[in-house]
Amino acid sequence: MAQPTADTGRRALDVAERLVQTRGFNGFSYADIAEALGVTKASLHYHFPSKADLGQRLIERYEAGFVETLAGIDRAQQNAAQKLRRYAKIYADVLRANRMCLCGMLASDYATLPKPMRERVRHFFDENERWLVRVLDEGRKAGQLAFKGAPIDLARMIVASLEGAMMLARSYGEPPRFDAAAERVIAELEARKSV
Amino acid sequence: MAQPTADTGRRALDVAERLVQTRGFNGFSYADIAEALGVTKASLHYHFPSKADLGQRLIERYEAGFVETLAGIDRAQQNAAQKLRRYAKIYADVLRANRMCLCGMLASDYATLPKPMRERVRHFFDENERWLVRVLDEGRKAGQLAFKGAPIDLARMIVASLEGAMMLARSYGEPPRFDAAAERVIAELEARKSV
DNA sequence: GTCTATAGGTGGATAGAC
DNA sequence: GTCTATCCACCTATAGAC
């Protein structure tokens, strides 16, 4: 095992991503990744000199994939409420893969994170808010959504609710708890036909 | 320092509570507590043989204090919306003390917790839901609150939203982010005067 | 109830051979 | 790019003296 030309870097990120999403940044070690890949800890340090380096790369890759997924939603969906449900479904799918949001976990670990990681965590949430603000704004203007106040406040509330609902649903081992909370948040925004 | 008769157990819980609320269960050690109190690690093991014991005691004490605070709200407030705002203010005050909810942090650490701690974390949230369900139910019957569906679903959504909003607000170092999210959740439930 | 001393393990990280 | 070997700091936990 452990071919010299294997893309250990990428595979290490895959394993580390899962570990952070389940156990948090302080809940795993190089030894865990090394064992999963059948390589030594020293090999991992070649690809990621410090754990802080590993963490930064993790967030960058995760955000890139997330942003791409959001772009996919934009391409496929017309209705703003549908877009929001697709957004919530990203979280639901992660939860059913027995994982948490990578950056939700890192937000919990925030006080123990190296500074470069902190900035990248915030950037991830900034991107989420930016996408949501646009969807909310367009949805309201199109008469598909109805809500009071600034889209940014609502966007932040949506992110917070989904992140929190995910954490709670996992603690109970009941993914439907997440679905119920997400649906409550989104349904509240849909323009009533009777108005 | 370290008088023989000092209530080291209680003071250790105080320090450990703060550490868990800021750094998580895997983000502190007996050494951190020992240093803060001016005692040795061995002394702490006399009071809490294992870290799991310490964790259990932490949750039990935290829940007891929380339940007592909720009882205080019941004694003082009449209006259901006011009670909910007082409930949210518990979180807001914790956040402004540069802490997270103890059990919100432990929910993030859930996969790494010893089983007895897991059960107690869930029990804490059960108690929160129980109190919220009663307030929501009474408030709707009294015409002070307006919402559709089962109170339990709404209660769970409220807990999730506040826990999530707390995490996000801390990451940005902006407590008002929590206030805005909490107000959005509660205002949505208030019975409109115009209906 | 607190101490010294220590056990036995794991953490992140590095040097240098291959 | 991966290995062996190793460092040193830190972890939880225990034994036994005071």
> Can you give the residue ranges of every domain in chain A?
1-49, 51-194
Q: Is the CB of A31 under 7 A from strand D?
A: no
Q: Are B14 and B99 in contact (CB under 8 A)?
A: no
Q: pTM here? A: 0.97
For the domain made up of A1-49, give the CATH fold: Arc Repressor Mutant, subunit A (1.10.10)
Q: Is the CB of B31 under 7 A from strand C?
A: no
Q: Is the CB of A47 under 7 A from strand D?
A: yes
- Residues A111-168 pLDDT 10s: 999 999 999 999 999 999 999 999 999 999 999 999 999 999 999 999 999 999 999 9
- Residues B63-93 pLDDT 10s: 999 999 999 999 997 899 999 999 999 999 9
- Residues B91-138 pLDDT 10s: 999 999 999 999 999 999 999 999 999 999 999 999 999 999 999 999
> Domain A51-194 is in which class?
mainly alpha
> Is B172 in Cβ contact with A122 (below 8 Å)?
yes
Q: Is the CB of A131 under 7 A from strand C?
A: no
> Is A184 in Cβ contact with B157 (below 8 Å)?
yes
Taking only residues 142 to 181 of chain B, the set having a beta carbon closer than 8 angstroms to any beta carbon of chain A reads: 149, 153-154, 156-157, 159-165, 167-168, 170-172, 177, 180-181
- Residues B45-54 pLDDT 10s: 999 999 999 9
Q: Do domains A1-49 and A51-194 have the same CATH topology?
A: no
CB atoms within 10 A of CB A178: 26
In angstroms, how far is C7 C1' from B49 CA? 16
Q: Are A88 and A186 in contact (CB under 8 A)?
A: yes
Nearest to A175 by CA among A105, A99, A92: A92
| Measured torsion, CA atoms of residues A170, A107, B87, B96, in degrees rounded to the nearest 10 | 160
Which residues, including other chains, have CB under 8 Å from residue A121's CB and lie 6 or more apart?
Answer: A59, A103, A106, A107, A110, A113, B171
